[in-house]
Amino acid sequence: MQEFSSEYIVVGMSNEPIQPKINWYRTPIDRDVLAALNQRSDVKGLLQTLGHLGLLIMSGALAIYASQHWSVWAVLGILFVHGTMYAFLLNGFHELCHGSVFKSKRLNTFFLYVFSFLGGYNPVMFWTSHQEHHKYTLHPPDDLEVVLPVKISLENFLKYSFVNPWGLVDRTEGLIRLSRGSTHRPLSHQQ
């Protein structure tokens, strides 16, 4: 087990010195194995991406059909499955932002915009924030993607796991703000 300690002062976006005291763990893996795992492929990328989108289309169509022909409990179960798969658009969007899905830059960009549209994500804003996240992981106030400590409670679990109107409000406010040319984000609905 290799541990890497950061014993230097980092000046982040806030221009405040941060004294990191995190002992990072690096998984021991052979460079050749890591390189093989990180190979991009248009064929594998299309299989995964179109497979995910196909499952979303099928589960959405099934939910629409079920709403006309089956019980409300069946519809709720199908919607739960559909919503769970829909939530994973974020994972695909994340990898597409990194450019790690397709060997072809055109395919990567095309599906990045498809996933951005379906999820209501802004790839430019996300990439800007995500670069800071990779530079300052777990170093507040510069890492705004992983904000610790997280308060885990039954109320928060139920609030954000099944139906998340706060996420819809945040996303809508963000789109309105961006359409007006502002990128400033007040911390109104975050915990």
CA distance 101 to 110: 12
pTM summary value: 0.72
Q: What is the pLDDT of residues 97-124, one digit of tens each?
A: 999 999 999 999 999 999 999 988 888 8
Burial (Cβ within 10 Å: 0-12, 13-18, ≥19) of residue 138: middle
CA distance 118 to 95: 15
Fill in the amino acid letter for 183: T
For the record, the structure tokens of 93 come out as: 């969007």
For the record, the structure tokens of 87 come out as: 């939530």
Q: What interhelical angle do 165-179 and 154-161 show, nearest 10?
A: 60
Q: What is the pLDDT of residues 129-166, one digit of tens each?
A: 888 888 877 777 777 777 777 778 888 777 777 777 87
